[in-house]
Amino acid sequence: MAADDILWRQLLTLSRRPDLTLQAQLRGAIAQAVLDRRLPPGAELPSSRRLAEILGISRNTVIQAYEQLTQEGFISAHSRSKHMVDPAALENAARAAGVRPDEPGRRPDWTARLTSRPSRTRHVMKPTDWYNYRFPFVYGQPDPTLFPITEWREVVQLSLRSVAIRDWAGDRVDADDPLLIEQLQKRILPRRGIWVSPDQILVTVGAQQALYLAASLLLKPERTVGIEQPGYPDIRNLCRQFGARIQPLPMDHHGLKPTGSLAECDMLFVQPSHQNPTTVTMPLQRRQELLQAASAHDLVIVEDDYDSELTFVGEATPALKAIDREDRVIYVGSLSKTLAPGLRMGYVVAAPEFITEARAMRRLTARHPPANNQRAVALFLQLGHHDAAIKKLIAAYRERADAIGEGLRTHLPEFEFRLPAGGSALWAEGPADVSMNAVAAAGAPQGLLIDPGAVFFDHPVPPENFLRFGYSSITVDRIDPGIQLLARLVRAERHGGRQAS
């Protein structure tokens, strides 16, 4: 049987009710498919002879059903053997039922029923067609030329062998792929100085789900969360969803400052490796000081180890979790940034008591991350492909970061910045009288895509003279021309917004 035949049999399943003739069953199946929009206006139906063969019924039954449906306005005849869904079928059906087709009916008042409006939060915005921009200084998107296509194809093919399919195809309920847990435990985490047992690891749908699990299990309205200022907007948004109070914490060139404000907090969210958005790397001494302060004030720390493996020079500083002796750090990692953001593959490492509840909470929302992706990523790690991919990314990102630094020194010397020690972005501060929001709006029609920095500040009137250059998706040859355009737009903004091109 042809594939189309199978589809028609599934679409027009006869009810087999003894009180209905086959003709009535067929009419009902076609009419319902039209009303459900599974058969859209203008869709062509099989000929009466063909549909009879597909359904195993008499051709006369199909002919009579088609004639009746034509009279009722569901389908229209275009030749002796050609029938199509009438473009006015829904209107005809509504008129027969005695209602107006455009009548909305008694809809719920969704505005009143919604108890939360997360769509109204301030967050980083980027166009979905960012790849069509000439100068995409966009953060968190991949460069397809750097993706390890051959290696990924290999592990996907391996994961599609019958023995592998048997392992991952079933519903794991709340369990993770044991091979992936093993690779995280033995290959990924030791590089960060973390040595844990499997019961302290949970795989998540990206780092974002890990952060959500931590917030949902640990926050309530009377608790206060310390967050870096400037910092990742969706951390703030997430904490506020659970009613927590936000305590913005100051930063310097060594990252978050362990000031007296920590005494007011119950929990901290920090990004010590390559802070978002400033890209600051917290040195070991500051990390030790932060842990001492957390111990003194009995704080729990959520460590988002952002871009930690993308270190340009020397070895990465050990994670907070690596030097935590009191089990108060919840460590969040991700494999998405070094493979592809669309894979959504993260993990969390924490005390067994937390992991038990996080696993149960994950089961209630997503059960588990896609098991086929877990197996493919596990094989990618096991075969050493991840190590090679990291080296390739570091070389490319370091070259791009240097090119941005050179472009800023040449074309925008009034901007202040520090070359990042790693990661995939550079943070810069422009003159106080420049609105990067306005510059970004003027640059978009000319193919320039940047992240204005105001959204990263938790303040009613945030400064607008900061911006973040993402360089994970822009090639080196586009960087200098892009910064030249940016420089023209900045100067136009400083001189009253005159158009630059």
Q: What is the pLDDT of residues 221-245, one digit of tens each?
A: 999 999 999 999 999 999 999 999 9
Average pLDDT over residues 132-145: 92
Asked whether residue 483 carries a pLDDT value surpassing 70, the answer given is: yes
Between 62 and 303, name the one with better pLDDT.
Answer: 303
Range 200-220 average pLDDT: 95
Indicate whether 440 pLDDT > 50: yes
- Residues for the chain: how many in total? 501
Lowest mean pLDDT among 102-106, 214-218, 457-461: 102-106
Amino acid at 5: D
Lowest mean pLDDT among 26-40, 259-273, 323-337, 483-497: 26-40
Q: Is the pLDDT of residue 137 over 70?
A: yes
Please give the structure tokens belonging to residue 39.
């058969």
Give percent above pLDDT 90 in the chain.
Answer: 65
Higher-pLDDT residue of 127, 234: 234
- How far apart (Å, rounded) are the C-alpha atoms in residues 192 and 15? 60
pLDDT on residue 103: 52
pLDDT (mean) for 298-323: 91
Q: Where in the chain is CATH 1.10.10.10?
A: 3-97
Report yes or no: 234 and 185 within 8 Å, Cβ to Cβ: no
Residue 96 has pLDDT above 90, yes or no: no
- pLDDT-derived band at 93, boundaries 50, 70, 90: low
- Per-residue pLDDT, 99: 47
- CATH number for the domain formed by residue range(s) 123-140+388-500: 3.90.1150.10
**Percent of the chain topping pLDDT 70:** 95
Q: What's the mean pLDDT in 250-271?
A: 92
Say which range, 90-99, 398-407, 472-481, has the weakest mean pLDDT: 90-99
Taking the whole predicted model, whether its pTM rises above 0.85 is answered as no
Contact predicate 408/428, CB 8 Å = yes
Is 484 exposed, middle or buried, given 0-12, 13-18 or 19+ CB atoms closer than 10 A?
middle
Angle (CA) 285-288-289 rounded to 5° is 90
**CA 258, 261, 263, 264 torsion-angle sign:** negative
418 and 271 Cβ atoms separated by less than 8 Å: no
Range with lowest mean pLDDT among 3-7, 298-302, 336-340, 495-499: 495-499
pLDDT tier at 150 (50, 70, 90 boundaries)? very high
Please provide the CATH number assigned to the domain covering 3-97. 1.10.10.10
Sequence ranges of the chain with CATH classification 3.90.1150.10: 123-140+388-500
**Which string of b and e fits 252-269 if b means at least 16 CB within 10 Å?**
eeebbbbeeebeebbbbb
CATH 3.40.640.10 residue ranges in the chain?
Answer: 148-383
Q: Write down the pLDDT at residue 9.
A: 84
For 69-74, the CB contacts below 8 A with 24+ separation are 69/27, 69/30, 69/31, 72/31, 72/96, 74/30, 74/31, 74/34
CATH number of 148-383: 3.40.640.10
When pLDDT is averaged across residues 436-464 and rounded to a whole number, the result is 94
Segment 345-357 mean pLDDT: 97
Nearest by Cα to 471 from 138, 145, 131, 130 = 138
Q: What is the mean pLDDT of the chain?
A: 90
CA 387 to chain centre: 24
- Note whether 408 and 421 are within 8 A (CB): no
Banded model confidence at residue 108, pLDDT cuts 50, 70, 90: confident
Count other C-beta atoms under 10 Å from residue 460's C-beta: 5
Return the pLDDT at 315.
83
Cβ atoms of residues 83 and 44 within 8 Å? yes
